[in-house]
Amino acid sequence: MARIRFLLLVLIIFSGVGGGAREFSRLTGQAIIDGEEKKITIYNLGGSFYLDIRQAAEIYKASISWRSIARKVIFSLNNQELVFYLDRRRVDFAHHRQPLDTYYLDGRLYLPVNFFTSEDFSHLSGWESTYNPETKILDVNRIVNVLAPRIYSQKGYSRIVVELAENLSYSKKSTPAYYQVDFLRGKCRQQAWEVRDGLIKEVSLKNRGRTARLTVYLSENVREVRESYENRQFILTLYSAEEMITAPSTFTIVTSTLAVAPSATPVKKTEPEKKKIRLVIDAGHGGDDPGAIGPNGSREKDINLNIALETARLLKEDGNFEVILTRDSDVFIPLAERTNLANEKKAELFISIHCNAAFKKSTRGFEIYFLSEKASDPEAAATEILENSVVELEKKKLVKKSKVQEILWALVVNEFINESSELCSFMTGEIPPRLQTENRGVRQAGFYVLRGAQMPAVLVECGYLSNPGEEAKLRQKYYQQQISDGIYNAILKYCWRKKLL
Ligand SMILES: [Zn+2]
């Protein structure tokens, strides 16, 4: 008994001393930097979180220089300098100083995470960060004012639309091989897109000093390039010789955050009497059924809806399509009702939009499915289970199909299987290159939402919400727009192939 009491006393003393000396506990966390994952160590001290300055420099692509005599560390990024001190708990930047809860212990300088997530640091660094203590994910995104170009390949002309978050002046250079635009004070996510649509070879966006440079590499078929800049939209239209007169002269991007030109000219329809192609865009899940949920809390149903609404907007603006949405808000709709609607309205295509999830966190990439009785592979089977799980919620008992039903079923599947598979290949040609993500290909599975569709029907799995990096990308507006652009362009190509347009 005395021995136990002694041990207890020792324990109490030691835990007291530990707390007094303010020991850091190490946590393994993750930084998601513009969608790229990086393992990091987060230090917890009494419920506050810290980063080692060396790690912070890696995350924010800063350089650090230790001045041991002056007892300070200079942290340089974005042409700015922040000064941290080893013995003084403060930070100096942009001609002002601010007290800061820093610690210098055993040769390491610890900086509070909430400094990096502050507005001050965002303005200074050009990086916007949020930290979730539950998931230990530090989500870091470059603040950009030049958004990723949106590329549309039409018959006889191609269009590149670059949205700017603010008005920027620009200079340009034009040669037969390329067209180059420098946005002054522009900042962008660097990327290159291989287009090869007969007019555009490649498009790239790069940061060069204090400008963001858009370069469009032209093919020999380009006869003329027209440029316009209005309402923070820079538009390049590349014409091949034949179609110069018929191409609509104005194209407007309407988004919730950017103002719309009151004088914007609507797209001219070349043949107003032509019958429109009717299609159904289905935003997966909704209401009580959130679908997959990402490690940072993103809900599949919200992402699906954004992509569906933007895809519908593009199709409507095109003028050749009549679009029916299964839902345009956060409501629950049973799976069977979605295809019933498409059948009733005699839609010519059914496109269901989803995001995937897997047990393995590293799984990422784009997939597209069409219906079959049996899943094409074990991963497709897992996706099938995930997407069909809502049937439970619908409180419907699954009745085993009768022989007759099976035969009918096979007929329906076979009738549209080739067309569905063709639409799938256009989707894989258009979407993964825009996202620069892994293309996991065309697969088959028995999705309830596609069953009974009396038309070609496909299910798009835009990416894996279970992957923290892909989740961070999927919740970004520019990424969702690129998916919508890909779906729209794939539908166009499919319709041209089928001579529907
Ligand atoms: Zn889903």
Contact status, residue 440 vs residue 428, Cβ threshold 8 Å: no
Q: How far is CA 79 from CA 69, 209, 410, in A?
A: 24, 10, 64
Residue ending a domain, among 247, 278, 309, is: 247
Domain hosting residue 501, numbered range:
266-501
Query: Taking the alpha carbons of 153, 443, 392, 361 in that order, is the dihedral positive or negative?
Result: negative
Domain match, 320 and 437 both = yes
Domain count, the chain: 3
Domain match, 208 and 68 both = no
- Residue 70: Cβ-neighbour burial (10 angstroms; 0-12, 13-18, 19+): exposed
The pLDDT of residue 244 is 52
What DSSP state is assigned to residue 375? Answer: -
Q: Is residue 495 part of a domain?
A: yes
Please name the amino acid found at residue 216: V
Q: What is the CATH number of the domain that holds 156?
A: 2.60.40.3500
Mean pLDDT per block of 10 residues along the chain (501 residues) reads 49 42 86 94 95 97 96 93 96 92 94 96 94 94 94 93 95 96 94 92 94 96 94 95 54 39 43 82 96 94 98 96 97 91 95 95 94 84 87 56 56 77 95 93 86 90 96 94 97 94 86
Domain match, 283 and 424 both = yes
Exposure letters 176-205 (e unless 16+ CB within 10 A, then b): eeebebbbeebbbbeeebebebbbbbebbb
Q: How far is the CA of 379 from the centre of ligand 1 (A)?
A: 14
Q: How far is the CA of 334 from the centre of ligand 1 (A)?
A: 13
**Considering only CA atoms, which of 54, 83, 86, 57 is closest in space to residue 69?**
86
Please name the amino acid found at residue 161: V
Q: How far is the CA of 93 from the centre of ligand 1 (A)?
A: 46
Domain match, 133 and 108 both = yes
Q: Is residue 231 part of a domain?
A: yes
Domain match, 274 and 360 both = yes
Place of tokens 């920027």: 168
The pLDDT of residue 24 is 87
Phi, psi of 387 (to 5 degrees): -75, -20
What separation, in Å, do the N-terminal and C-terminal C-alpha atoms of the chain show?
90
Residue ending a domain, among 96, 116, 142, is: 142
Contact status, residue 292 vs residue 463, Cβ threshold 8 Å: no
Q: How far is the CA of 301 from the centre of ligand 1 (A)?
A: 8
Phi/psi region, residue 287 (left: phi>0; alpha: psi -120 to 50; beta: rest), is left
Task: Collapse the DSSP code of 454 into the 3-class scheme (helix H, G, I; strand E, B; otherwise coil) and give the result.
Answer: coil
| The two structure tokens encoding residue 487 | 């779906």
Q: Is residue 398 part of a domain?
A: yes
Q: How far is the CA of 326 from the centre of ligand 1 (A)?
A: 14
Domain match, 405 and 438 both = yes
Domain match, 235 and 128 both = no
Q: What is the CATH number of the domain that holds 422?
A: 3.40.630.40
Domain match, 175 and 241 both = yes
The pLDDT of residue 270 is 53
Q: How far is the CA of 285 from the centre of ligand 1 (A)?
A: 6
Q: How far is CA 72 from CA 51, 82, 275, in A?
A: 17, 10, 72
Q: How far is the CA of 478 from the centre of ligand 1 (A)?
A: 21
Q: What is the 3-state secondary structure (H, E, C) of 259-281?
A: CCCCCCCCCCCCCCCCCCEEEEE
The pLDDT of residue 412 is 60
Domain match, 116 and 32 both = yes
Domain match, 405 and 490 both = yes
Q: How far is the CA of 394 from the centre of ligand 1 (A)?
A: 15
Rounded to whole angstroms, the Cα distance separating 351 from 341 reads: 13
Q: How far is the CA of 356 from the centre of ligand 1 (A)?
A: 6
Q: Is residue 12 part of a domain?
A: no
Query: Taking the alpha carbons of 105, 109, 115, 120 in that order, is the dihedral positive or negative?
Result: positive
Domain match, 135 and 174 both = no
